[in-house]
Amino acid sequence: MRKYAVALAVLLVASACSGSSDTTSSATTVAPAATQALSTTVAPATTVAPTTTTVAPATTVAPTTTTVAPATTVAPTTTTVAPATTVAPTTTTATVEEVDSRGVHCPSLQTYSHTPRVSGSFVDIDSLETHRVNIPNIAWNDSQTILDGNADLANEETDLLIKVGPTTNLYFAENEAMLRRAINFWTNFCQPTKYIALYYSYDDLSWAEEELVGYGETPASATVSAMSPCGGGICTGGNSGLGVGQYPDRSRNVGFGKFGIHQADATDPYRRGPLHIHEYTHTMQASSWINTEVQDPQEASNQASPCWLNEGFPHAIGLSAGTDDYSAYLSLRNGEVIGRHLQGVFDDYGDVYSTQTIVDYFDNSVPGTCIGKKDYAAGYSIGLLTVEALNAVAGSESAMHLYTYMASGLAYQDAFEVVYGLPWDSAKSLLAAHVSVVVNSVLQTG
């Protein structure tokens, strides 16, 4: 347990409600406790700013990025992002063009329906107990199947723009590749026309603020937004969502991500792919509302989704699609469970992970009101395991269908029944029973 305690201290939450603020180091990092500017990402395991959520892998829930002991270590490096998508640091005012206000591949929500994917490995919700040992493998393999299947269907219409702070040294050379992996994973769903990613260290915080002002934010909002993946004198984790600028000129089809760079994170496997996919998935959640009449798709997403799903969904996809082998996935996944526990995310429930306390957690995860609460970061562990189970039931794309149905006008409970074939009130106790056994098993065995 000692290694997790150490990792926990490093973990910074970065997933926010607006998009998400992730600050968690994978494999041994708790997703930076989601900060979702309600757009998307809570800093893995450590801070969940209600916004676009990005949670750092499971080790610290503080709105910052949590880190569990890195399962793999990569020597820090100063490699920069591939020139093709890296824009030299500048303070020049930027503009966001509304190339297509409907986004990319956005369906008509008035007649939306989906054909459930079929797989011989999928299980029924009421048989989770029977297949418990195989659930994580089924979920991970399905994400790999989707990645392989979408390889020839790459979405080249979503423009990816990466900008790096003037004094920031990147320790990971594949930032562009991993963001592209995320875009390709969601090829069959509505996506933004552009995704802008800012990478910066704490020393380049003022640069990030200037960039945000250039994209239409006010100086005050830019200061708050730039700080979303930062805290305690460092920037670590991520925060991502949909939209940038001020109304009435705020763009509704442009995704925006902020990624904190801290050299101590260089050996954290969560920051080498899983974080990128987690954060982009936060943007995807809100993108379901691009082709609707709502003024703010990001806020619509935040108000529709329970927090366990808001962070659990991006985290499950980030870990399963961001790792290349099953053992790495299991290491990060178990690290999140342990790291979040050490962070005390379940203190309000007596740290007792029983079926009933998890059902209570589900019931308290009320859309629109759960963001910012202490147990928000439990989305990186309990939410992660819940979505993992659902992915083994209906596939790793299933939750995105859930969001699309909600964007079409269905309430969460109704959309859940359409996608998973069982009323939420009946399914939640079955899911809670499964998650209870898994959490207690991981905590006992490490």
pLDDT tens digit string along 8-55?
333 333 344 455 555 444 334 444 444 444 443 434 443 333 344 343
pLDDT for 64 = 36
Sign of CA dihedral 371, 309, 429, 357: negative
Mean pLDDT of 295-309: 95
Residue 322 near residue 273 (C-beta atoms within 8 A): yes
The Cα diameter of the chain in Å comes to: 59
SS3 state of residue 231: strand
The answer, yes or no, to whether the previous bond of 248 is cis (omega within 30 of 0) is yes
Mean pLDDT of 81-108: 45
Q: Point out which residues pair with 239 in neighbouring strands.
A: 21, 258
Q: Is the pTM of this model over 0.95?
A: no
Q: Tens of pLDDT along 388-429? A: 999 999 999 999 999 999 999 999 999 999 999 999 999 999
The residue among 30 and 60 whose pLDDT is bigger is: 30
Q: Tens of pLDDT along 340-398? A: 999 999 999 998 999 999 999 999 999 989 998 999 999 999 999 999 999 999 999 99
SS3 state of residue 103: coil
Q: What are phi and psi of 413, to 5 degrees?
A: -60, -40
pLDDT at 149 over 60: yes
* Long-range contacts from 434-438, C-beta under 8 angstroms, 24+ separation: 434/128, 434/129, 434/132, 434/135, 434/385, 434/389, 435/353, 435/358, 435/382, 435/385, 435/386, 435/389, 436/353, 436/354, 436/355, 436/358, 437/129, 437/132, 438/132, 438/135, 438/337, 438/385
Residue 54 near residue 279 (C-beta atoms within 8 A): yes
Residue 105 banded pLDDT, cuts 50, 70, 90 = confident
**Which two structure tokens, joined as six digits, stand for 39?**
């757009």
The DSSP letter of residue 400 is H
The DSSP letter of residue 233 is T
pLDDT for 446 = 76
Mean pLDDT of 210-219: 96
Q: Inter-axis angle of helices 412-420 and 382-394, to 10 degrees?
A: 40
Residue 107 banded pLDDT, cuts 50, 70, 90 = confident
Mean pLDDT of 216-226: 96
315 vs 309: CA distance, rounded Å: 9
Residue 157 banded pLDDT, cuts 50, 70, 90 = confident
Query: Which residues, 6+ apart, have CB-to-CB distance to 399 below 8 Å?
Result: 309, 313, 316, 387, 390, 391, 419
279 vs 286: CA distance, rounded Å: 12
Q: Tens of pLDDT along 316-332? A: 999 999 999 999 999 99
pLDDT for 102 = 54
Residue 180 host element (H or E) = helix 175-185
pLDDT for 128 = 97
Residue 158 banded pLDDT, cuts 50, 70, 90 = very high
